[in-house]
A and B are shown apart, each in its own frame.
Chain A
Amino acid sequence: MKPAPFTYMRPENLDETVATLSQHGADARLLAGGQSLMAMLNLRLVEPSVIVDISRMPELNAIKLRNGMIEIGASVTQSELLAWPELEAQAPFIAKALPWVGHFQTRNRGTVCGSLAHADPSSELPLALALLEGEVVLRSTSGTRVLKAQDFQSGMLQTARADDEIITAVRFPAGAGARGRAFREVARRHGDFAIVAVGVIARDDGTLRIGIGGVADTPQCIEMNADAGPDEVKDRIEHLAWQLGGFDDIHASARFRRDLVRRLTPALIKEVRACAV
């Protein structure tokens, strides 16, 4: 199918962008890589009257290390982040999860911030944001605000971004996962949406942080002591698997999803403990 008619705007800079958003509000949609939005336009799942193209804006195209955080601008593509020479050293968990985001061909266009804005519960980058406790930088004509991961993702395909705001960047703590990290997902085909995605990192304070995507409306995280015994690990995961409230759909049954959580999570904890040694 083809998109419904819209007006196309390409602002030259951030000031023009927020002015445009302030004028059009909920009638406008931001287009960065378009790997979610263009598909939704083509399927007419969304019919905005204004498209604001920020894909060519140089001021949003930077990856910076600043105050112990990695800051990734709104037009940085997933491929550009994968090719960032510091990725393995500064963001070892993201280095593991990023190759699972879509396909080679969609990562070449899809942006890191765009995936967060879309907030699909089975996507890898929202899981990384929650697991690594990153933050999102939002800007409107009234100024800039920074939201922590847990305050940003509010539901399935829903975030706390206001209609007149643009995500200018996402920040991840530098070095998160350096002590140990593991990521795995199950999908019908590599690059498809995950049925279940699991991430685990070892933290400096001696805890493990575990994140699950694809089951609940948003990625869900729990923490446990890195030296928790097998019984405690099993109990916590069993509790988590039920708490996620999985449902039956065309891709998998709720029971299958719970089973994936039960099987993948202990394997990943083992993997993280192995790299922590």
Chain B
Amino acid sequence: MRGVTSEDPVPVTIELNGRRRSGRATARTLLTDFLRSELGATGTHVGCEHGVCGACTVRIDGVAQRGCLTLAIQADGRKVDTVEGLSDRKDALTVLQQALHRNHALQCGYCTPGILMSFSDFLAHNPNPDEQEIREVLGGHICRCTGYAGLMKALIEAASEMRGEPPQISDSELAT
């Protein structure tokens, strides 16, 4: 049995965006705080801290989930992917990121990393989603400044481009 007594920090090692990274965490340290404060990976944002807003969404072993509802110690030995690791080059963006950029799907950018992590998982497993499915996944995120029209447009476009289709969308698909 693994046991960690309340406030004594223990070593936690994760594979962060493909690289082995270690830090220390107490039993109650949240994964979001471990990423940001211990490993300096501040791309993952902290919003409501009770699983509603979606800002902290990361991929653990490839699956999109809430970083704020995960203990750092639960991620020990697992693969954690964050927004920093989406693109393999510092000066390049992924197709998904480019679509958000092109469609003005962000202003302050607070919700953006979480949305990118959700859809990088969702679109990889559902390459051909309809608008309603995208809307439902996006429903797990709260954006308070840009609104969702640009996001919907970007996500529909990204999905079609990831399928290898040239980017094109009709106005009817954009009705919100």
Contacts and interface: CB of A to CB of B under 8 A. Distances in A.
Interface in A1-30: 1-12, 16, 20
Interface in B43-65: 49-51, 54, 57, 63-65
A190 B139 contact: yes
Contact of B118 (A12, A105, A191): A105
Contacts of A43: 50
B169 interface: no
B124 interface: no
Most B CB within 10 A of own CB, among A4, A8, A11, A189: A8
A53 interface: yes
Given A3-B28, A35-B51, A38-B70, A108 B65 contact: yes
A104 B2 contact: no
A3 B70 CA distance: 11
Interface residues of B, number: 34
Contacts of A5: 6-7, 26-28
B69 A7 contact: no
B68 interface: yes
B49 A1 contact: yes
Interface in A58-110: 79, 99, 102-106, 108-109
B4 interface: yes
B153 interface: no
Given A12-B1, A16-B1, A42-B50, A104 B27 contact: no
B51 A190 contact: no
A38 B27 CA distance: 13
30 contacts: A1-B49, A5-B6, A5-B7, A5-B27, A6-B6, A7-B3, A7-B4, A8-B71, A12-B1, A20-B1, A31-B71, A34-B70, A35-B51, A38-B51, A38-B66, A38-B68, A38-B70, A99-B136, A103-B54, A104-B118, A104-B122, A105-B64, A105-B65, A105-B66, A105-B118, A108-B64, A109-B65, A109-B70, A189-B139, A191-B136
* Nearest 4 pairs of A and B residues by beta carbon: A103-B140, A39-B50, A38-B69, A8-B27
Given A7-B27, A190-B135, 19 more contacts: A1-B49, A3-B28, A5-B26, A6-B27, A7-B6, A10-B3, A31-B71, A35-B66, A35-B69, A39-B69, A42-B49, A42-B50, A51-B71, A53-B71, A103-B137, A105-B54, A105-B118, A106-B66, A106-B140
Interface of B: 1-7, 26-28, 30, 33, 49-51, 54, 57, 63-66, 68-71, 73-74, 118, 122, 135-137, 139-140
